[in-house]
Structure 1
């Protein structure tokens, strides 16, 4: 029986489906939602807004708020509670680095930035990297 599940989540439908899967298929498990925000860099369009704030952790928490609100709604619809954690940096690395604290990882097959042109390069690589490097079982949900 699984007691602790990590669900990396962004604002994509695939991530929401992964959370639903974890909550519905593991009713007794403690579920933690992880949202990872990229490190500010002029080269990273997604994180440029973060570089304007003095406190990176506060900025990351602000960015994660919408994702966590939706995660709590999904959990409440199933009469469940969950924990939330904000990560800063590379998504796959954040997930793998935290994996030892969990029995399994459940993640969506594609993130919010997914489109046909960038599937393998940007987002498929997160799921692929986590699957290859995580020290615990990984479930990919479409």
Structure 2
């Protein structure tokens, strides 16, 4: 049975559903929520903003706070606790790099609505990339 679950989250509905799934279907596991900031964009907006921050870790944590607040609410509704961590850079790479420390990855089928073609080109499909490259089982929640 899985004892360590990684749930990458952004501010999308599917990400919240993935956390709900993980908490409901792995009741005895430790669940860690990862939010990745500094995602490349056509104009390098978020990544550039982080690069210009005086304290990179503090700026990244600040940007992750709303996602973690939502994650904690979901966990509290299920009388569960979660761990949180912030990644910086490309989401799929962050997830795959951390995968060896977990038994299963549970993530939403689609991230936040960033449907612009250039963004999809730069970032790619995170769920698809993770499911192809992760060295552990991946559950994709719709």
Once the 2 structures are TM-superposed, how far is the Cα of residue 117 of structure 1 from its aligned partner? 5.5
Which residue does 1:103 correspond to in 2?
Answer: 103
Which residue does 2:10 correspond to in 1?
Answer: 10
Which residue does 2:57 correspond to in 1?
Answer: 57
The 3 A distance-change label for structure 1 pair 11 and 33 is: same
Structure-2 separation of matches of 1:39 and 1:112 = 12
Matched residue count = 142
Q: TM-score, structure 1 length as denominator?
A: 0.90
Check the 8 A contact 1:42/1:48 in 2, yes or no.
no
Once the 2 structures are TM-superposed, how far is the Cα of residue 49 of structure 1 from its aligned partner? 2.9
Which residue does 1:45 correspond to in 2?
Answer: 45
Stretches of structure 2 that go unaligned for 5 or more consecutive residues are none
Check the 8 A contact 1:110/1:123 in 2, yes or no.
no
Give CA deviations for 1:34-73 in whole Å, capped at 9, x if unaligned.
Answer: 0001168894123333233111111100000110011000
Give CA deviations for 1:50-107 in whole Å, capped at 9, x if unaligned.
Answer: 2331111111000001100110000000000000010011100000000000000000
The 3 A distance-change label for structure 1 pair 25 and 31 is: same
Structure-1 separation of matches of 2:61 and 2:85 = 9
**Mapping for residues 16-95 of structure 1, pairs under 5 Å:** 16-38=16-38, 43-95=43-95
**What's the secondary structure of 1:69's corresponding residue?**
helix
Structure-1 separation of matches of 2:12 and 2:141 = 12
The 3 A distance-change label for structure 1 pair 21 and 56 is: same
The 3 A distance-change label for structure 1 pair 41 and 23 is: closer
Q: CA RMSD in A?
A: 2.3
